[in-house]
Amino acid sequence: MKITVSRKAHFNAAHRLYRPDWSFEKNDSVFGKCNNANFHGHNYELVASVTGAVNPETGYVIDIKTLADLIYDEVEVSFDHKNLNLDVPEFAELIPTAEHIAYVIWRKLRKRLDPALDLEITLYETPRNFVTYRGE
Ligand code: NI
Percent of the chain residues topping a pLDDT of 70 = 100
Q: At 41, which amino acid appears? A: G
Tens digit of each residue's pLDDT (9 = 90 or more) over 72-126: 999 999 999 999 999 999 999 999 999 999 999 999 999 999 999 999 999 999 9
Active site residue 100: no
Q: Is 34 one of the annotated active-site residues of the chain?
A: yes
- Domains of the chain, each with CATH number or no CATH: 2-133 (3.30.479.10)
Q: Which residues surround ligand 1, an ion (CB under 5 A)?
A: 34
CA of 34 to the centre of ligand 1 (A): 5
Mean pLDDT, the chain, rounded, equals 97
How does DSSP assign the chain, residue by residue?
-EEEEEEEEEEEEEE----TTS-HHHHHHHHGGGG-TT-EEEEEEEEEEEEEEPPTTT--SS-HHHHHHHHIIIIIHHHTTEEHHHH-GGGSSS---HHHHHHHHHHHHHTTS-TTSEEEEEEEEETTEEEEE---
pTM for this entry: 0.95
How does residue 56 score in pLDDT terms, banded at 50, 70 and 90? very high
